[in-house]
Amino acid sequence: MIVKGGPDDKFVEWSPSGDHVQVADFDADILYVHRPLAELPHLIDLGRRHNVSAVWRDPAPDSASFRELVEAAHLVYVDECAITAAL
């Protein structure tokens, strides 16, 4: 299970191991965003700390603003289809 939380906004992987849970740092390739534009700068920073190379967002009318912020951070922006359709 991948979990994001805590004061440092880290992604960690929780893996069951016997009668306890192992916790390890986790990097991601893609950051899937479904939050408002105002939260995007923080999410981009968070994603970059976890080595993402792309930000994926389901198609929406305001995608130009999202694309501009993501590409300014030198990340790939994807919104051609819903992420569930691509799986």
Taking only the tens place, the pLDDT of each residue in 36-81 is 999 999 989 988 888 899 999 998 888 999 999 999 999 999 999 9
Number of domains present in the structure of the chain:
1
User: Tokens representing 78?
Assistant: 């994807």
pTM above 0.75, yes or no: no
Of 53, 39, 54, the C-alpha closest to 9 is 39
Among 19-23, 49-53, 58-62, 82-86, the minimum mean pLDDT is found in 19-23
Predicted local distance difference test score (pLDDT) of residue 20: 73
List, as own/partner pairs, every contact residues 56-64 make where C-beta atoms lie below 8 angstroms and the sequence separation is at least 24, other chains included.
Answer: 56/30, 56/31, 56/32, 56/83, 57/32, 57/33, 58/34, 58/82, 58/83, 62/37
Predicted local distance difference test score (pLDDT) of residue 64: 93
Domain extent, residue 25, equals 2-86
> Is it the case that residue 12 has pLDDT exceeding 70?
no
- Strand 54-56 relative to strand 76-78: parallel, antiparallel, unpaired? parallel
